[in-house]
A and B are shown apart, each in its own frame.
Chain A
Amino acid sequence: MSTPGGSPPRKFLQAAGASVARLLRAGAAKKIAPGKFHFTLWTSYGYLQYADRHSWCGFDVAAMEDVWGASVWFNSFTPWSGN
């Protein structure tokens, strides 16, 4: 999907769960940089169902939570780095 007059949107995945606060921050990021990235969420069960190599390739950034003892961030791009 392309953005008229701009660079292609970044694809952002929050996997294995999400807090409402993060969802809201993602919403805020969308407002600040409209069309610059797509956000989606995989719940833990969605992660179990869909997280294979092919699926991961569809995203520039992935954030994981709900994994007790581990909080893993992939890639260096964080759309809400200003928050």
Chain B
Amino acid sequence: MKQRLGPAVTIGHTRPDPPFWGQRYLTFNAIIRVNSVEASRTRWFGSNEESRNTPANMQRMRRAITREFPQGRITWAISWLALHEQSRNYRAVRKQALEYHHRYGDEITFTVGGFFPNVYNYRKQVSRDLHAGLAAVSRLVGGGYRPKSVVAGYLAAENHRFLAEEQDIHVCQGNIWSQYGIDALDDDGSICYPYYPSREHTLKPAQGPADFIDCVSLDGWTCDFVAARQPGFKDGFNSRLGLGPIETLFQHNFSRKVGLRQLLATTGIHFDRGFALNRFGWATTIWELCLMDNEGADQSLAAWLHAVRRRWPNTRMITQGEFGMAWRKEFPNNAQLNYRFAHKGTGIFGSDASVEVRWYMNRKFRLALLRDWRHQSPWKVIDLTRYDLPAHEPPGLARNWSLINLRNQKQTRPQDLPVRLEHLPAAQQTLIANYYPTLISESGL
């Protein structure tokens, strides 16, 4: 069959893109680095992970993925040091990534600044690093290769603009939804699904052509909405519970089996109810390759993917670059954004079983409601972040890049105390009613 098509045509290229809508997307990024926090090209912190970032661990990771998603494609994001380290191990790691690129269609790209480039570097330096890192990736792969996306953790608006306008990269894992008081970076305030950032602030969706950046910003790790409403480690619970492997599988506060249940429940937020509400579902995660050194890590990864495939057999596992570009075709700007989510806590760790959270996210604002569903308590607003107000990022180096205005889910200020919808000021009620006309009148929802 392939011969009849002639040598210049491959089966893969003749397939039309499947429709964007009605799909469940799973994106998986793997980080290859040398040190746990590579703050800049020459400065790093934490543990040296050289012995854990090995071809053998890559093979363990890829085997687990291939077994459950034979057609699946993932993204290998390589740090500056891992791109340039000349030891035999890292040369073999890069060769292995190349092999997976050719064999499976995996994307190879650059990860900049240890997830928090703008915490440690000024914007100009981050752009320089992006330019040089992407060039190194192109040299590694050869043939004029350019990745479709970048992995950055949090990336400032100016650096998103640089990617779009000067690097022709239009997808970036550029925000870590709901992160606050944890992991050395605060960036709560955004939408957890794809959006185009504003030139004013990465976490603000662009309001129109004047502040539009043509680079789709993606969340890094899908979170449990109930746990995520807390700051940091409040009450001893990690607010990053969700699809993050370290927080959900390897933090040793609960068994691996319970962690797997949480992984599946978090995926279900988007593949069950979220899918019905939004007409597509998206779950995403980043695994540091070094995690594969943990005993049974490959089995845990395979068990989660197996459960996903069994429960949602049509799940499409594609690279985040492909996902972002497919989204971009359907959404030329933010005007049509209208994401909705509903989630009852899992009862695991900080995901209180009695709490139900609903989210509404659009270009103008994000709104979260919470209630105790067991006692049928009234819905209360725990977050109302307006995006139609001016926003400013920190001018220089800073830890806190959050976008917090009217009311924030983390409840770190007196004004964040939950309030019933009908008790909001009239202007805020009008803003909400413009998007969701029946929400306030049906306050019982």
User: Which positions in A face B, CB cutoff 8 Å?
Assistant: 17-20, 23, 39-46, 48-50, 55, 66-69
- Proximity string of chain B (279-302) to chain A, C-beta cutoff 8 Å, 1 when within and 0 when not: 000000000001100000000000
* Option from A19, A50, A66 in Cβ contact (under 8 Å) with B183: A66
- Tell me whether B250 and A43 are in contact (CB under 8 A): no
What is the CA–CA distance of A55 and B183 in the complex, to the nearest angstrom? Answer: 19
> B-side interface residues toward A, CB under 8 Å?
36-37, 45-47, 119-120, 181-184, 231-235, 238, 240, 244, 246-247, 250-252, 290-291, 397-399
Verify A41–B45 contact, CB threshold 8 A. Answer: yes
**CB proximity of A8 to chain B, nearest CB, Å:** 19
Tell me if B37 and A46 are in contact (CB < 8 A): yes
Measured CB to CB, the closest approach of chain A to B349, in angstroms, equals 12
Q: Are B181 and A46 in contact (CB under 8 A)?
A: no
- Given known A42-B46, A43-B46, contact A49–B250 (CB-CB < 8 A): yes
Contact of B46 among A19, A23, A46, A66 (CB under 8 A): A46
The 9 closest A-B pairs by CB, nearest first: A41-B45, A48-B251, A17-B184, A68-B232, A68-B234, A45-B246, A44-B183, A43-B184, A44-B182
What's the minimum C-beta distance from B343 to chain A, rounded to whole angstroms? 22
Nearest chain B residue, comparing its CB with the CB of A39:
B45
In Å, the complex CA distance between A44 and B251 comes to 11
Knowing that A48-B251, A67-B233, A69-B235 are A-B contacts, what are 4 other residue pairs whose CB atoms are under 8 Å apart, sorted by A's residue number? A41-B45, A42-B46, A50-B46, A66-B181
Which residue from B36, B119, B181 sits with its C-beta under 8 Å from A20?
Answer: B119
Once bound together, how far apart are the Cα atoms of A68 and B230, in whole Å?
A: 10
Chain A CB within 10 Å, residue with most, of B47, B235, B247, B291: B47
**In the bound complex, do residue B36 and residue A46 qualify as a contact, i.e. CB atoms below 8 Å apart?**
yes
Dominant SS at the A interface?
Answer: mixed
- Interchain nearest-CB distance for A35 vs B (Å): 17
Residues of B within 8 A of A42 (CB): 36, 45-47
Q: Which residues of A contact B46 (CB under 8 A)?
A: 40-43, 46, 50
A-B contact list, 14 entries, CB within 8 Å: A20-B397, A41-B46, A43-B183, A43-B184, A45-B247, A46-B37, A49-B290, A55-B47, A66-B182, A66-B184, A66-B232, A67-B232, A68-B231, A68-B235
For residue B399, which residues in chain A have a CB less than 8 angstroms away from its CB?
A: 18-20
A18 lies within 8 A of B184 (CB): yes
Q: Which residues of chain B are near A46, meaning CB under 8 Å? A: 36-37, 46-47
Is there contact, CB below 8 Å, between B233 and A40? no
Output the least CB separation between B79 and chain A (Å).
15
B224 CB to closest chain A CB, in angstroms?
A: 16
If the complex has contacts A20-B119, A68-B233, are A48 and B246 also in contact, measured as CB distance less than 8 A? yes
For residue B36, which residue of chain A has the nearest CB?
A46
Nearest to B45 among chain A residues (CB) is A41
Q: Which of B37, B238, B397, B398 is the one whose CB lies under 8 Å from A43? A: B37
- A17, B37: Cβ atoms closer than 8 Å: no
- Known A-B contacts A67-B232, A68-B234, A69-B234; A45 and B183 likewise in contact (beta carbons under 8 Å): yes
- For A43, list chain B residues within 8 Å (CB): 36-37, 46, 183-184
Chain B residues within 8 Å of A17, by CB:
182-184
Closest Cβ neighbor of B52 among chain A residues: A49
Q: Which residue of B lies closest to A67 (CB)?
A: B233
- Asked if A48 and B250 make an inter-chain contact with CB atoms under 8 angstroms apart, the answer reads yes
How many angstroms from the CA of A65 to the CA of B247 in the assembled complex?
17
Pair B47/A66 contact, Cβ less than 8 Å: no
Partner of A41, one of B184, B235, B398: B184
Shortest Cβ distance from B170 into chain A, in angstroms? 28
The smallest C-beta distance from A52 to any residue of chain B, in angstroms, reads 9
Q: How far is the CB of A70 from chain B (nearest CB, A)?
A: 8
**In the complex, chain A residues whose CB is within 8 Å of the CB of B37:** 41, 43, 46
A23 to B235, CA, bound (A): 27
A37 shortest CB reach to chain B, Å:
14
Bound: A46/B37 CA distance, A? 9
A20–B120 Cα distance when bound, in Å, is 8
**Do B233 and A44 touch (CB < 8 A)?**
yes
* Interchain CA distance A18-B398 in the complex, whole Å: 11
Determine the residue in chain B with the shortest Cβ distance to A15.
Answer: B46
Q: Which residues of A contact B250 (CB under 8 A)?
A: 48-49
Report B-chain residues with C-beta under 8 Å of the C-beta of A48: 238, 246-247, 250-252
Q: Is B398 a contact partner of A66 (Cβ separation < 8 A)?
A: no
**Closest-CB distance, B285 to chain A (whole angstroms):** 13
Q: Inside 8 A of A44's CB, which chain B residues have their CB?
A: 182-184, 232-233, 238, 240
- A18–B232 alpha-carbon span in the complex (Å): 13
* Chain A residue nearest to B230 in the complex (CB): A68
Chain B nearest CB, measured from A54 CB (Å): 12
Which residues of B lie under 8 Å from residue A39 when comparing CB positions? Answer: 45
- The CA-CA distance from A49 to B49 in the complex, in Å, is 11
Which of chain B's residues have a CB closer than 8 A to the CB of A66? 181-184, 232-233
Considering the chains assembled together, what is the distance between the CA atoms of A50 and B47 in angstroms? 8
A18 to B399 CA separation, bound complex (whole angstroms): 8
